[in-house]
Amino acid sequence: MSRIDVQEAITQAHHAEWARVIASLTRRFGDLDIAEEAAAEAFATAVQRWPADGVPPNPGAWLTMTANRKAIDRIRRENKRDDKHKEAQMLQDNTPPGPLGAIEDERLRLIFTCCHPALAMETRVALTLRMVAGLTVPEIARAFLVRASAMEQRITRAKAKIKAARIPYRVPSAEDLPDRVRGVLAVVFLVFNEGYLATGPDTDPVRHDLTAEAIRLTRLIRALMPADGEVAGLLALMLLIEARRTTRVSGSGELVTLDEQDRGSWDAALIAEGHQLVRERLAARVAPGRYQILAAINAVHTSARDVRDTDWSQVVALYDQLVHLDPSPIIALNRAIAVAELDGPEVALAAVDRLEDRLAGYHAYHATRADLLRRLGHSHKSREAYDKAIELAGNTAETAYLTRRRDQLGSDLA
């Protein structure tokens, strides 16, 4: 096996096994720092040994065993641990696992465990994205629109609080689930978003492993909480987005926007399932939450056989509802994009420009401005906006698309 093949195997193992290794070690040792450090050391050892020794037949088992040994070595080095009895138990390889409780899937259990109510919501999300999804700190920082250094500090403080407060990494009971599900849904959706359009110059633009895992986890959550409208809404939302996955990047590696996608190639089964979930929530006659409204917006888009058939008035009306629930600048930006189709680019541009202070570091803000300025004939200003969007874009497919659109601009210097 070539070195390139080995590196690819290590990358695939990281995608597939990181969360399992972390979950296994957290469950056994009860310490998130130990779990993360040992898992990282196990993968570092794989980078060193697999090129010479070959990829093991069962990479996950190899990584888990190696990580367990690393964790035990660390515990043995630490002579000042308070609870020696607990340490002795942790060192026993045959220690029986604890009860599974309400959740049998180990990865989902770890997500619920990390989403402890004692932590602030953003901290829960950031911590679980790192521990469970295996996202890097820069990837998580991008999702939160903050600097990587600030995100690193946030995650470090979360671990310190967990240790200081002795927050237990226990299996949540069925009664715990409603209090924790909002944070869990936020985590799962951000994992899905990272797969939907992954960050990093050397990353595949679309990571199906992440989108598929997010959908799998949400199906498990729905089985646990079938009456929760937001769980159903998130599942519908992800299904309707996932239905378009194979049409989102061209053969040359360029992003294909919604209006240019081949709608005949969308996954009809996923769309039908997503639409059915949306209809069920409408029939429940309960005020919808954020994910249900986002699912309804995507249902409108995926109902149109052609982009020209899109009911933009309904899309804007749904965004009007969403703004009351989530007055974030990104929701306002997406609403402005819909307004451009209904009321024209000039009205939309005025709304977008009001978001500058809050979205100046967000590439989609500048990409949206660039497109609206292009439609208004302001080529010079549009080019400047495209340049800024390209500078901030964290994905090769987006960069290729934005570069082409910029290069297609005319010479108008308005």
Highest mean pLDDT among 5-9, 170-174, 320-324: 320-324
351 within a domain of the structure (yes/no): no
- Structurally, the chain folds into a number of domains equal to 3
Same domain for 299 and 244? yes
CB 146 within 8 A of CB 157: no
By the 8 A CB rule, do 241 and 261 touch? no
Lowest mean pLDDT among 4-8, 44-48, 59-63, 384-388: 4-8
Examine the domain organization and report whether 235 and 210 are in the same domain: no
116 in the Ramachandran plot: left (φ > 0), alpha (ψ -120 to 50) or beta?
beta
Instruction: Please check whether residues 74 and 113 belong to one and the same domain.
Output: no
Confidence of residue 187 (pLDDT cuts 50, 70, 90): confident
Asked whether residue 240 is domain-assigned, the answer is yes
Q: If you average pLDDT over residues 302-306, what whole number do you get?
A: 95
| Nearest by Cα to 239 from 270, 272, 195, 193 | 270
Q: Is residue 70 part of a domain?
A: yes
**pLDDT surpasses 70 at 79:** no
Q: Which of 72-86, 268-282, 332-346 has the lowest mean pLDDT?
A: 72-86
pLDDT of residue 81: 53
Segment 105-109 shows an average pLDDT of 75
Same domain, 115 and 220: yes
Q: Is residue 393 part of a domain?
A: no
Count of other CB atoms within 10 angstroms of residue 331: 17
Q: Which residue segment(s) compose the domain that 134 sits in?
A: 105-167+176-225
One domain for residues 118 and 221: yes
Residues 233 and 281 in one domain: yes
Query: Of 90, 113, 135, which residue is a domain's last?
Result: 90
What confidence tens digit (pLDDT) does each residue in 353-379 have? Answer: 999 999 999 999 999 999 999 999 999
319 assigned to some structural domain: no
Residue 202 included in any domain: yes
How far, in Å, CA of 111 to CA of 185, rounded? 10
The average pLDDT across 335-354 equals 97
Same domain, 236 and 219: no
Tokens read off for 401: 């698309």
Q: Please report which confidence band the pLDDT of residue 176 belongs to, taking 50, 70 and 90 as the band edges.
A: confident
- Domain end, chosen from 25, 59, 90, is at 90
> What are 53-70's pLDDT values in tens digits?
999 999 999 999 999 999
Question: What pLDDT shows up at residue 350?
Answer: 97
Amino acid sitting at position 177: L
Residue 39 lies in a domain: yes
Residue 99's pLDDT band (cuts 50, 70, 90): very low
Same domain, 191 and 265: no
The DSSP result for 317-375, as a single string, is HHHHHHHHH---HHHHHHHHHHHHHHH-HHHHHHHHHTTHHHHTT-HHHHHHHHHHHHH
The neighbouring-strand residues paired with 255 are: 249
User: Hunting for tokens 């690819």 — which residue is that?
Assistant: 8
- Based on the fold, state whether residues 126 and 210 are members of the same structural domain: yes
Tell me whether residue 32 is in a domain: yes
| Residue 249, SS3 per DSSP | strand
Least confident of 100-104, 205-209, 293-297: 100-104
Q: 172-186, 339-353, 376-390 — which is least confidently predicted?
A: 172-186
84 and 145 share a domain?
A: no
- pLDDT band with cut points at 50, 70 and 90 for residue 172: low
Specify the DSSP class assigned to residue 65. Answer: H
Range 167-178 average pLDDT: 71
* DSSP letter assigned to residue 251: T
Task: Pick 144 or 101 by higher pLDDT.
Answer: 144
Q: What is the CA radius of gyration of the chain?
A: 23
Least confident piece of the model among 182-196, 314-328, 351-365: 182-196
pLDDT > 80? residue 124: yes
Indicate if 197 and 301 belong to the same structural domain: no
pLDDT, residue 94, reads: 45
Rounded mean pLDDT, 376-397: 94
% the chain with pLDDT above 90: 53
CATH of the domain at 81: 1.10.1740
Euclidean distance between CA atoms 334 and 355, whole angstroms = 11
The conformation of residue 309, written as its DSSP 8-state character, comes to G
Q: Say if residue 84 is in the same domain as residue 12.
A: yes
Q: How many helices (H) and strands (E) does the chain have?
A: 20, 0
**Mean pLDDT score across all residues of the chain:** 86
pLDDT tens, position by position, 395-414: 889 999 999 999 999 754 54
